[in-house]
Chains A and B, each alone.
Chain A
Amino acid sequence: MPYGDEKHSLIFQELTNILGEENVRHGTATMTAYSRCLFAVATLNRARKPEFVVLPRDTQDIQNIARLATRYEFPYSIMGSGVMMPLHSAAKRYWCIIDPKRMNRVEVDEKNMFAVIQPYVTHAQLQAEAMKRGLFNGIPLVGAQAMALANHVWHGWHGSAYRTGFATRNILGMEWVLPTGDIMTTGSLAVPNAGYFWGEGPGPDLRNLRKGLVSENGSLGIITKLAVKLHPWPGPKYFPVADIRPCKTSELPDDFQWHFINYPTEKACADGMYAIGKAEIGGIMQRWGTQLIAWEYAKSNEEYLKLLEEGYWRKECLNLVAICLFPFTSAKQVAYEEKVLSCIIERTGGKEVSQEVYDKLKPFVANTLIRDNYGFRWTRPGNTMHTSMLFADSLDAVFNAQEEHWQHIEGYKPPFLDDNGESAWVLPFDFCHSGGCTVDQSHEKLEPVCQEVMKEAMDWLQHDIKAGMCAFTTNLAPADVVGPKFANYHLPLAKIKKALDPKNVANAGRFIDVARVEKAQQEAAEKAKAQQPPPEAPKAH
């Protein structure tokens, strides 16, 4: 027990009363297991540990925890796989981490193409249940061992978003425990006898209180059940797999076709993607950075470094578009789309990769986008990972932004590692109506390196704020820090947070600092009283 005071004992006793002794821990060892992850910030904050970890069984348990937390004013957060732990780790005294491992049910409505999932269902589990029924759900880059519910709510850029939309849009009915412990249901689940099938409404769409480029990280409550869209899967019931880990491969049946197209320039690459989107062909389309391919392909650091030294991926795949043609309608659809694709490749100046490269990419890399296995291979070179660039807008804007960020990163090498080339993963949404990218960097998990890495993130945050970029850093920073530069979007949010979470216990201190907002408002009011000129109002653009 790290803090043996009276309040700690009271909270522990009450949590035990709610959940049973076997589902509550406060021992130092267990707290240690909820304090560390791959990111630099967690490495630097290794000493920061929660005081309680609990295992609720169901929604009612979570309601009881929320009510208890509000009564006794202790902060809490929920953590699925904990991959994004810096957003959920203990940041204050008496922190309680809710581990939803006992909430792991998945139910599929095959006819109406959705699944209802609890917080501890992985993407792989969801995929397995969907594929058995001729359906599928997208897979994020992070890997299918991540929790499907958290990913849909938090980020939700799935490999198939080109056709299926980004995952946050694929959320249907939700059951949501508010910080007060009350339940809110959304979409069709909000009304009697309708079920989970529809996501919007009734009226204004409150799903969007959870979602910007990333989410509010549970600061407005905990989602206990979530219905997600499933999409038609014209492939086999069980994902075809051969060989033994880590050399596992996968080949889809012949009526799925992967094409890997190289372009001479990024501009040509973007043009190619736009042309493919305009033709509305394919089930998956992405642009892979060479670094990303290098990470995903390598089965060991030795292999990774060997290919890096040879400059293999830079030579073969510098501006690569990967597209998979799906036989949604029939095998003839693929034959037709192949013909269309050939025309587009010719018109846009692309070239399909050599057979040798194709044979490397297809069984090891490509299918990870349908049924991801090796997402975390990106962490191999330094055993950690850093991302300060995640961005979405038009595909053109995405290409420009990732290039700008890549140039910026050059100034931080070392400590950033590699260079196989750019790591940017460009993912079009909705047949190229918009798109997103992430730019990831390898670095080593060494404390001085982590310090530098954090500096880069802070520098880029300042860049984004100054430029007016709606991006990852500006989303991760507390809303009150960036809000003044973005039409004061934080001011209504502060009111919402305060009303929903009056004791500021739900992932306290992240997302928005209400006290800081109120203090700033008070100071502004005092200034105004002293007849200072008001700050310039935002102008139309």
Chain B
Amino acid sequence: MSAEERKPSLPTDEFNRKWYWDFRKNAWYCLRCNNCKWIDNWEVKDARFARICPSNAYYLFDTYAAQGRMDVSLDLIDGVLKYEDDPEILDILYACNTCGGCDVMCKGVHDMSPINVILEMRAKMVEDGQLLPQYLPILESLRREDNTMLGKKADRGKWAEGLGIKNLAEESAEVAFFTGCRFSFDEELWKIPRAIAGIFKDAGVDFGIMGKDENCCGSRPAQMGFKGEFTKYAENNIDAWKNAGVKTVVTACSDGYYAMKRLYPEVGSKVEVLHMVEFLARLIEQGKIKLTKKVPMKVTYHDPCHLGRRLSQAISVFNPNERSMGIYEPPRDIIKAIPGVEMVEMFRNRECAWCCGAGGGVIDTYPDFNSYTATQRIIEAQETGAEAIVTACPWCERSLGDAIKETGAKIKVIDLVELVDSARQRGGK
């Protein structure tokens, strides 16, 4: 038969024609190609910094990689494997930062989404009553105090005391600054929301906060598999914004941003959601922030997973033809616009960035794994010769900051907001 006479023979399974979400098929069609364990092969610049999956790098067995998790998930879905068969199943599915590294690499070659299988499996496990014991205090904190940090609800707005910020539970404002659990209860990081408040005020932004009435955004519960909790918090927050007449929600937490940007619309949210990075870029563009002060510093930028690759991985927005639509360039553009700052990239950046280690509940449940992951990033950052790691997420800042303390590394971690705050012109100077 000549080449011209040959007729195409097409796939029978619709999944192999056009991507749609199917839990089992995603697991079934895993090929063990191993792309989920490594960054994009073109991007490997140094053998030491080639891995993408912290879980696989730390635990080593293939079970601790998207590939193995697909295998375990498939057998659990099919009933071939039962929870009681192997006590390690819980760790296999929970000792994952849900950083989405596997997912972006997998999608380079297939129309599949392993991260969503992992998240769905966690939800299923919660439904099936398969909970990590480490989750119990967090769950208790969520149920009693509406936060994941084991803090008191009454203390949630404490960081803003004395700043004279509008309380959106009582007043309305155009912009709601959503603080999030980490910034609210991690006192060492309060300097960042406080700097944001200063920037907003100077830029004339009409903004407010929910203070003690702010709820957890639901992002961390969603990552842990607590779908019900997520929905509850999402609905509460959406209602609160509606009541306060909020048009735009700004957050400096990448985890929270992901939830509000990608998951809230499914629960009915209509407000504009911006990460502080985007909002800063807007203010700079509008001339409301002027970066005039010299900050003589060599820095590198750490892409928070939920501000980067995770943004393209929500089932609702995933399009296999599109590039991973993270917010990669705006923070870099801002850093480069600051006089005196020298920006250097780490070996792994943008969609290939190595996670800080905090995601997926790991910071609370697997401290050693969290510490390993963060330390690896610190080592990588130090290789660049940077004095500081700039990032844009409190979870990254906590995780990386702790690793710096533990290792005594000569580098610091700062939020992009702090850098901008140091460089911005104040009071006409």
Contacts and interface: CB of A to CB of B under 8 A. Distances in A.
Interface of A: 25, 27-30, 32-38, 47, 53, 55, 81-83, 85, 99, 101-102, 106, 121-129, 132, 143-146, 238-239, 241, 243-248, 250, 299-303, 305, 308-309, 314, 318, 367, 371-377, 379-385, 407, 410, 413-422, 444-446
Contacts of A32: 63, 68, 71-72, 75, 81
A29 to B, nearest CB: 4
Interface string B304-327: 000000000000000011111110
A382 B28 CA distance: 12
Contacts of A420: 8
B62 A34 contact: yes
A123 B111 contact: no
A33 B34 CA distance: 12
B163 interface: no
A244 B47 contact: no
Given A145-B37, A300-B19, A33 B3 contact: no
Contacts of B325: 244
A302 B85 contact: no
A245 B6 contact: no
A420 B30 CA distance: 24
Contact of B321 (A127, A299, A371, A382): A299
Contacts of A37: 31-32
Given A144-B41, A414-B9, A102 B60 contact: yes
A243 B323 contact: yes
A55 B63 CA distance: 13
B12 interface: yes
Contacts of B47: 106, 121, 125-126, 128-129
Given A121-B47, A125-B50, A248-B108, A373 B40 contact: yes
B320 A145 contact: no
Contacts of B44: 122, 124-125, 127-128, 144
B60 A300 contact: no
B320 A410 contact: no
Given A29-B86, A82-B32, A129-B46, A303 B321 contact: yes
A407 B7 CA distance: 13
Question: Top 10 A-B pairs ranked by shortest CB distance?
Answer: A33-B68, A300-B320, A38-B31, A144-B41, A125-B47, A383-B29, A124-B41, A244-B323, A27-B86, A37-B32
B136 interface: no
Interface residues of B, number: 73
B323 A33 contact: no
Contacts of B19: 300-302
Most buried by B among A30, A303, A375: A30
Nearest to A53: B61
B8 A146 contact: no
Most buried by B among A126, A301, A385, A417: A301
15 contacts: A29-B92, A32-B81, A33-B69, A81-B34, A101-B61, A106-B47, A121-B47, A126-B47, A144-B44, A248-B108, A302-B18, A305-B17, A376-B35, A416-B9, A417-B11
Interface string B395-415: 000000000000000000000
B357 to A, nearest CB: 19
Contacts of B43: 239, 241
B11 A382 contact: yes
Given A28-B86, A99-B60, A145-B35, A124 B3 contact: no
Contacts of A125: 44, 47, 50
Contacts of A145: 33-35, 37-38, 41
Interface in B28-87: 28-35, 37-38, 40-47, 50, 60-63, 65, 67-69, 71-72, 74-75, 80-81, 85-87
B344 to A, nearest CB: 13
A261 B106 CA distance: 32
A55 B61 contact: yes
B28 A25 contact: no
B146 interface: no
Contact of A244 (B7, B85, B326): B326
B72 to A, nearest CB: 5
B6 A28 contact: no
Contacts of A385: 31
Contact of B12 (A128, A309, A372, A444): A444
A301 B323 contact: no
Contacts of A308: 8
Given A38-B33, A241-B43, A302-B321, 13 more contacts: A28-B81, A29-B86, A32-B72, A125-B50, A238-B45, A246-B320, A303-B321, A373-B40, A376-B31, A379-B33, A417-B10, A418-B9, A446-B12
A299 B324 contact: no
Contact of B71 (A36, A102, A146, A383): A36
A379 B10 contact: no
A308 B16 CA distance: 14
A443 B89 CA distance: 32
B105 interface: yes
B261 interface: no
B122 interface: no
A489 B110 CA distance: 41
Nearest to B68: A33
B13 A444 contact: yes
B85 A28 contact: yes
Interface in B87-110: 87-89, 92, 104-105, 107-110
A384 B351 CA distance: 26
B108 A382 contact: no
B124 to A, nearest CB: 15
B50 A124 contact: yes
Contacts of B40: 241, 245, 248, 373
A359 B11 CA distance: 29
Contacts of B111: 300-301, 380
Most buried by B among A246, A248, A384, A410: A246
A148 to B, nearest CB: 10
A83 B325 CA distance: 29
Nearest to A81: B34
B33 A83 contact: yes
B50 A128 contact: yes
A421 B6 contact: yes
A328 B80 CA distance: 56
B109 A301 contact: no
B52 to A, nearest CB: 10
B328 interface: yes
